[in-house]
Amino acid sequence: MLKSMTGYGKGDASTPHGNFLVEIRSVNHRYGEISTRLPRTFYAMENEVKRLAASVLKRGKIDISVQWDETSAGNTAPQLDMTVARAYFDAYVRLSKELNLPQDAPLSLIMSQKGVVKEVAVAVDETELQPQLLAAVQAAVAAIDAMRLKEGTALADDLQARRRQVGEWVALVRERTPQVVVEYRQKLKVRLDLLLEGNEIDEGRLAQEVALLADRCDITEELVRLASHFNQFDEALCSSEPVGRKLDFLMQEMNREVNTIGSKSNDADVTKLVIQIKAEMEKMREQVQNVE
């Protein structure tokens, strides 16, 4: 099935230290170009992120944005300051003696004093978070790939319908071409009759003129090549591989053959059909530019 080069996907993953949010956007591009925006602490994982995206997204301008929301609660740990705690305890004992109070200092009282318990930052090894980061990237890649596939299916349906229409018009050109030569002979004979005013027509000369026209208007080779291009185009639409470049090339070749047919034509009906074919093929070419 065809895939579009435009799409959007999002993925996320949670860790004890924070959360990852990955967003991927892609638009049309002649080649495959991937750019990333990662937090500085995760720069070392950039190549792995690109590799994962490139394994699925073969063509297009692809932008990957990674956001890291650090959870403060998960990155700190309580730490006792025994010097401060001992100072509070000694002060309590002295005060107890002065006021003739019990000297057993409640633990909860000491622990609640300012500076006894501190929150200390815990160093996080970013490499330990790589599996979660790549899981978020993979989810985003799967989401955008599904969207590109859905749009590609719509593109394929449109291209198939337009290709069938072009094929029908080309068939009319094929049917019309032999009749052009017959009509030319009839018109030429009428003109000669008028010019010769009843004198005998040189049938050999007439046949020679008709043969020259038939040779100039012969589009057999163009029609054969066009039929071959049509078959290849239809096969490519059913391929599971990226075929955008192949379709673009085939459109160029098909357009070349139609232009040649138009240049050889001296018939108004054929010319009209060629104009219709070229207009429809231009619409096909625009659609092909969206195919991966």
pLDDT digits (tens, 9 = 90+) for 122-179: 556 778 899 999 999 999 999 999 999 999 999 999 999 999 999 999 999 988 877 7
Within 10 Å of residue 155's Cβ, how many Cβ atoms? Answer: 24
Q: Which of 197-211, 218-232, 240-254 has the lowest mean pLDDT?
A: 197-211
**Residue reference for tokens 């109070």:** 101
Query: Residue 198: pLDDT above 70?
Result: no
Q: Please state, in angstroms and rounded to a whole number, the distance separating the CA atoms of residues 128 and 280.
A: 55
- Per-residue confidence at 191, pLDDT binned at 50, 70, 90? low
* Mean pLDDT across 230-237: 96
pLDDT digits (tens, 9 = 90+) for 50-69: 999 999 999 999 999 999 99
User: Residue 186: is it exposed, middle or buried by C-beta count within 10 angstroms (0-12/13-18/19+)?
Assistant: exposed
- Rounded to the nearest integer, the mean pLDDT of the chain is 85
* CATH numbers and ranges of domains, the chain: 7-72+128-148 (3.30.230), 74-121 (no CATH), 152-288 (1.20.140)
pLDDT > 90: percent of the chain = 54
- Buried b vs exposed e over 247-265: b needs ≥16 C-beta within 10 Å? beebbeebbebbebbbebb
Phi, psi values for residue 79, rounded to 5° = -140, 130
What is the largest distance, in Å, between two alpha-carbon atoms of the chain?
Answer: 152
* Mean pLDDT across 192-211: 56
pLDDT digits (tens, 9 = 90+) for 6-63: 999 999 999 988 899 999 999 999 899 999 999 988 999 999 999 999 999 999 999 9
What's the whole-model pTM score? 0.72
CA distances from 289 to 176, 211, 226, 238, 292 (A): 33, 43, 20, 17, 8
Determine which helix (DSSP H) or strand (DSSP E) holds 232, and give its type and residue range. Answer: helix 220-237
